[in-house]
Structure 1
């Protein structure tokens, strides 16, 4: 190739975006290549038993408050009528409630498959393979570059498709198929070796799902002599987080308790000079002090408690 030769632009079909498994809600992500006619977004999840409302936004920019930036908003909600009566699912699109649409067949505790198929002027929505509704965009589709998911929802997978692989013959609307998780659940208790210890800049990532009736969650780091210099413990009985020292001394973490039954979570431990910095579901929760020599001597990461594990990365 000569130095002055120009490269052809990469076609949209080659802008690949991998599926996302078990994101922590609220979840906001960039849509690679933006939205265009023919693109699909698939959402697979479960409605919690006591869910009141969840929301899926296709918006301009990565805002956690997208009311003013969302050209196409789909809000799935339940409005309870009383303490003992059941809720009637409704839907709002483009900022206006539409009671004339068919009843949304999503019940608490049930799994669902939600599919958005984007056309030139409108988006079509299906629920569990059945066409549910369609509505026109408020702003040009070319301006949409972000997906946001909020509220009472357990998301198992999100997929971004540039073409429709499910069309058969002249079918107008794809049937859709659930994603298969590429990684198996990890056994709990879980142990991982740290052959080189920890060093500044290293990050430990733990992702999982809290069980329905949890008791506790423990993440501990052990050295070569099987001592435990530091432990992070979450107690669901009193909804507290704390660092536990090698001598059993508890140092409470003054922060909101962000573990919830049947909700996904993400724990991040950032190693820095002088200790470990903690973040839970993207929210920083402070740090604990550890000497550099202690960090370098750590050889094992252990995780136990009332959780299902999907990812342990370091």
Structure 2
């Protein structure tokens, strides 16, 4: 493995977008790669003491005027006797039928964290296994997104072949804060890079298959590669994930 080695260009939809701190409201930005299954958007803030409402819009374009279509309109309201959330869609300048959620867990003067999860599957628990019917080939990408638990011990991502052997294992140890490739014989090759897993924080692991091995990125930061011949890559048939995490997305 070569720490710090540059990765080949990666599609925008596979990149963990950098956070934005203290944005000026109203704030408009582009979501890299658009919204797709497995994408997560996290919003943290504080509701002002005299707030009437605020809104988060996932819209089809970054302009303010003319107003683009809004796929998802999320609108908590506090100025009524019973605070609630309104959700709606704006199409061709016309609002569609709204959905109303009572009992919103947002309060004036209180901080909040809202996580928008987009996908066609529910949250997955670990251990989790996904089949690779055709193995791996150059250009294929495996993406794992999840949340580290409060008191984590370790996290492992294994690639197994048809005989249930594990030619490739990536292991993160929260005890000694190390990240390593582990061989089938138990030999560990430490990854010389900052440990980017944190309790109760979200993460994204990306494995990019290329001729001669796999390249690794964690939270958008390239961490080098591990060598594997093409025959071994083609024989891999399973992705297995276990450890102290809550799993949101396995994409390949």
TM-score, structure 1 as length reference: 0.51
Matched pairs, number: 195
Q: Distance in 2 between matches of 1:201 and 1:260?
A: 29
For residues 30-67 of structure 1, what are the alpha-carbon distances to aligned partners after superposition, in whole Å with 9 as ceiling and x for unaligned? xxxxxxxxxxxxxxxxxxxxxxx76477357789xxxx
Contiguous gaps of at least 5 residues in structure 2: 1-14, 33-42, 58-62, 67-73, 80-87, 105-115
Structure 1 residues 56, 301: closer, same or farther in 2, change over 3 A? farther
Q: CA deviation at 1:193?
A: 1.6
Q: CA deviation at 1:183?
A: 2.0
Q: CA deviation at 1:288?
A: 0.7
2:55 to 104, 115, 122: 115
Q: Distance in 1 between matches of 2:186 and 2:54?
A: 47
Q: CA deviation at 1:187?
A: 2.8
Contiguous gaps of at least 5 residues in structure 1: 1-22, 29-52, 64-74, 78-88, 91-100, 106-112, 132-158, 168-173
Q: CA deviation at 1:128?
A: 3.3
For residues 151-200 of structure 1, what are the alpha-carbon distances to aligned partners after superposition, in whole Å with 9 as ceiling and x for unaligned? xxxxxxxx985554466xxxxxx977897864211231111122221111
| 2:222 aligned with 1:284 | yes
Q: Distance in 1 between matches of 2:185 and 2:161?
A: 15
Instruction: Write the mapping of 1:1-314 to structure 2, written as runs, cut at 5 A.
Output: 26-27=18-19, 55=23, 58-59=27-28, 102=49, 115-116=55-56, 128-130=76-78, 164-165=95-96, 182-314=120-252
Equivalent pair of 1:197/1:295 in contact (CA under 8 Å)? yes
TM-score, structure 2 as length reference: 0.62
Structure with higher RCO (Cα < 8 A, 6+ apart): 2
Equivalent pair of 1:198/1:295 in contact (CA under 8 Å)? yes
User: Residue 232 of structure 2 aligns to a residue in which SS?
Assistant: helix
Q: Distance in 2 between matches of 1:225 and 1:265?
A: 30
Q: Distance in 2 between matches of 1:291 and 1:183?
A: 33
Q: CA deviation at 1:103?
A: 5.8
Q: CA deviation at 1:220?
A: 0.6
Larger Cα-atom Rg: 1
Q: CA deviation at 1:254?
A: 1.7
Equivalent pair of 2:56/2:75 in contact (CA under 8 Å)? no
Q: Distance in 2 between matches of 1:191 and 1:289?
A: 23
Equivalent pair of 2:89/2:95 in contact (CA under 8 Å)? no
Q: CA deviation at 1:238?
A: 2.1
